[in-house]
């Protein structure tokens, strides 16, 4: 990493300047306590805060009130050097799916094109996603598959801080970060029922220098998912469960090119999840997933605690070996321990076309609930250092 640099004049002003100008959404007509649509009042307050000539401005959602918001985008760039969205109250999404379906929308609250945005305050975002879940094709096979909205979406944001929020019951993904740079996410409490389909906790795509720390995530899909275009991502201090674990991918769907690199996942606790730490890439894809480290991870009754699946396929279609794949290389696992709910605790299922290369395992102890565990791999080079249980052997 680069060494420290001199602060810019903008940063010095932010540290030593006057307090921010506060723009309260209630002053623009919000505050019906969930009875009426507050979206236009929020947009008016946002425009005022964003266009402030003060060095800093604050967009305030007061504590103790509930606000009904339709799908809304808060856009930059802003004239204020730094803007804070201080969410202290509760934001409620409409429960009627037609609000999104009639306009083909896939996001609820979006922040786009903003530099030095802070979103915090201890408030709650309630996605009211129940109608989306019960109409999902994953739960009702005859249903048409429709992508549900993401509750909180950040697109093309730089120097972004998101912390101290509760995000619950999203229609689909809870928090998404896309095409963003220099992002700090911390102290989020994200929750949805374990049976709710596709409700990823935090989803990172096409972003770099992202730090996710000290979050509690209990959902029906990946607690954290990191997909193509993401580099220099650190995930630390996450509690995950229920859910599908912490995933790199999926990568390379529909024969596409994908890349993820320089990811560190550490000090995570996974409890009762259907996967632990996972890398999944599609048959027929191209690109790479490399320089990824999982360390200091504690597993409790986790199915598939450590898994690489380079042969990921659409379960509705036949899965055949193809002549290309996303390369998986330089993957490190250190100090991973706990209990496995499945006999196979460690599995590296790699492609014949593009083998997994440079897998290093060090100090692993994954035991079964009253039974032995196993580790197997194929089409991979695996080095085992220190204490390893279960010891890995080539699948015959």
Catalytic residue numbers, as ranges: 244
Spatial CA neighbour of 118 closest among 210, 183, 181, 208: 183
Query: Could you tell me which residues are beta bridge partners of residue 383?
Result: 360
User: How many helices (H) and strands (E) in the chain?
Assistant: 4, 30
Spatial CA neighbour of 366 closest among 285, 274, 313, 304: 304
Structure tokens at 108: 């609820």
Spatial contact of 76 and 98, defined as CB atoms under 8 Å apart: no
349: three-class secondary structure by DSSP: strand
231: three-class secondary structure by DSSP: strand
Structure tokens at 213: 């720390």
Structure tokens at 373: 């565990």
15: three-class secondary structure by DSSP: helix
Spatial contact of 346 and 306, defined as CB atoms under 8 Å apart: yes
Spatial contact of 314 and 355, defined as CB atoms under 8 Å apart: no
Report the Cα 383 to chain-centroid distance in Å. Answer: 30
Spatial CA neighbour of 174 closest among 207, 216, 137, 143: 216
Structure tokens at 324: 């290309």
Alpha carbon distances (Å) from 263 to 12, 279, 297, 351: 31, 12, 15, 22
Spatial CA neighbour of 27 closest among 42, 8, 7: 42
Distance CA 182, CA 265 (A): 17
Give percent helix, percent strand, percent coil of the chain, each to the nearest 5: 10, 50, 40
Structure tokens at 238: 């996450």
């Amino acid at each position: 990493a680069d060494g420290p640099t001199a602060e810019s004049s903008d940063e010095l002003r932010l540290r030593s300047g006057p307090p921010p100008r506060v723009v309260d959404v209630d002053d623009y007509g919000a505050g019906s306590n969930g009875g009426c649509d507050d979206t236009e009042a929020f947009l008016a307050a946002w425009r005022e805060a964003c266009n402030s000539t003060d060095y800093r401005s604050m967009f305030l959602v007061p504590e103790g009130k509930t606000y009904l918001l339709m799908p809304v985008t808060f856009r930059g760039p802003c004239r204020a050097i730094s803007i804070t969205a201080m969410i202290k109250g509760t934001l409620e999404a409409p429960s009627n799916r037609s609000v999104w379906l009639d306009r083909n929308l896939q996001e609820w609250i979006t922040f786009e094109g903003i530099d030095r945005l802070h979103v915090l305050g201890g408030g709650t975002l309630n996605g009211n996603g129940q109608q989306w879940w019960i109409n999902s094709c994953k739960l009702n096979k005859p249903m048409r598959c429709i992508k549900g909205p993401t509750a909180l979406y950040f697109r093309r944001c730089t120097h972004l801080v998101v912390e101290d929020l509760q995000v619950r019951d999203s229609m689909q993904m809870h928090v998404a970060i896309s095409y963003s740079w220099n992002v700090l996410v911390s102290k989020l409490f994200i929750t949805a029922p374990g049976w709710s389909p596709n409700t990823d906790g935090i989803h990172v795509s096409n972003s770099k220098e992202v730090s996710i720390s000290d979050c509690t995530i209990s959902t029906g899909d990946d607690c954290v998912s990191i997909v193509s275009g993401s580099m220099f991502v650190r995930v630390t201090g996450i509690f995950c469960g229920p859910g599908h674990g912490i995933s790199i991918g999926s990568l390379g769907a529909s024969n596409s090119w994908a890349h993820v690199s320089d990811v560190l996942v550490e000090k995570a606790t996974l409890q009762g999840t259907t996967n632990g730490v996972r890398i999944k890439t599609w048959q027929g894809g191209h690109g790479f997933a490399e320089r990824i480290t999982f360390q200091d991870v504690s597993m409790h009754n986790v199915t598939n605690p450590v898994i690489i699946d380079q042969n990921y396929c659409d379960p509705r279609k036949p899965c055949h070996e193809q002549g290309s794949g996303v390369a998986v290389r330089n993957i490190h696992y250190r100090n991973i321990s706990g209990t496995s709910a499945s006999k196979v605790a460690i599995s590296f299922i790699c492609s014949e076309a593009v083998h997994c290369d440079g897998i290093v395992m060090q100090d692993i102890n994954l035991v079964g609930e009253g039974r032995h565990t196993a580790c197997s791999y194929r089409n991979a080079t695996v080095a085992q250092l220190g204490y390893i249980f279960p010891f890995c052997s080539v699948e015959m």
